Amino acid sequence: MTDDHPSKSQSNPSAAGGGVLLVDKPAGITSHDVIYRLRRIFGIRKIGHAGTLDPMATGLLVAAFGPGTKLLQFLSGLDKKYEGEITLGATSTTCDAEGELTPTDPLPEWPPEEQIAEAMRGAEGEIEQEPPVYSSIKVKGRRLYEYAHQGLEAPKVKPRQVRVDSFRLVDYSPPAVRFESAVSSGTYIRSPARDLGERFGCGGYLSALRRTRVGMFKIEDSATIPQLASDPEEAAKRLLAPAESLPHLPMIQISDQAAQGLLNGHSFNPGDVISPGADCAPDRDIAICDQRANLLAVCRFSQLENQFRPFRVFHLSPTDG
């Protein structure tokens, strides 16, 4: 998701090819609100992010600046990690704390901790997940939540294949269930929160959520908006260069001659690689850098042709000589 409006600001942190900034989103604002505030802080318009957080959620938002927004297609599908809280004893129209809450009939006693933990483990694995009615998925040109807000019946959405690597109980103090979860991109944590309440017949909704990891990016390396706003020049130093922004991809460096051809859309041979050792399995995305570690492209190796073929050439400005 990007906003692309040229800016003439002299304090543009994307002037040397852009890059990625890790931001700790606060609760109560949208992901687009974060982008708007970053524009104000840095004086540029071309900023995007690699995955929306709901307004009630906090945590890691991966933002890309300037030409670095070209990297977003390789960041938006990364796995995510979360920590959060489920509240039992009520249902929500949105499956989270932002919806209309309806208390359920009280149980004689809360489910025991062992059963809660077992039910959560049962939600792990490859599953088909039906997106919540209040979600940003587009159907027939409109987002699902727009149908809900206008009181219209939302079109049926096919369940999507997602992966829940872990859904682990951290603390149980009824009605609060604290958890940690690792999931594939596109997984809605609201859904297992709702399902847990339904499993025990007491209702449940997501009452807090914090994203702690996106791929190899960690919340510990992020900065809050007030930190960024207090010293924009210092904040700009937090910007990860393009070559540092794809740590999940194997990376190789190539000769200057091959680099020039690659920027013109040409393939190159294994003999042009000057930093062998990366996992260059066929059809896998591989980050390609020149001899000065400037990111040039993402390529895929064709075993049939014995060549690295360009998948996306970036034409980013070099970060150094």
Residues with catalytic function:
54
- Beta-carbon contacts of 26 under 8 Å, excluding residues fewer than 6 positions away, are 58, 224, 225
Residue 270: half-sphere exposure toward Cβ, Cα within 13 Å: 13
The owner of tokens 């260059």 is 280
Residue 53 CA to residue 29 CA, distance in Å, equals 9
DSSP class of residue 174 equals T
Residue 205 CA to residue 207 CA, distance in Å, equals 6
Amino acid at 258: A
Residue 154 CA to residue 147 CA, distance in Å, equals 5
Please give the structure tokens belonging to residue 270.
Answer: 């294994």
Query: Residue 253 burial (CB < 10 Å; 0-12/13-18/19+)?
Result: buried
Evaluate whether 121 touches 167 at the Cβ level (below 8 Å): yes
Evaluate whether 209 touches 219 at the Cβ level (below 8 Å): no
Amino acid at 306: N
Please give the structure tokens belonging to residue 207.
Answer: 């009452």
Angle CA 299–302–307, to nearest 5: 75
Evaluate whether 308 touches 267 at the Cβ level (below 8 Å): yes
Please give the structure tokens belonging to residue 160.
Answer: 């999507």
Among 41, 34, 84, 81, CA closest to 55 = 34
Quote the crossing angle between the two packed helices 113-121 and 190-199, to the nearest 10°: 130
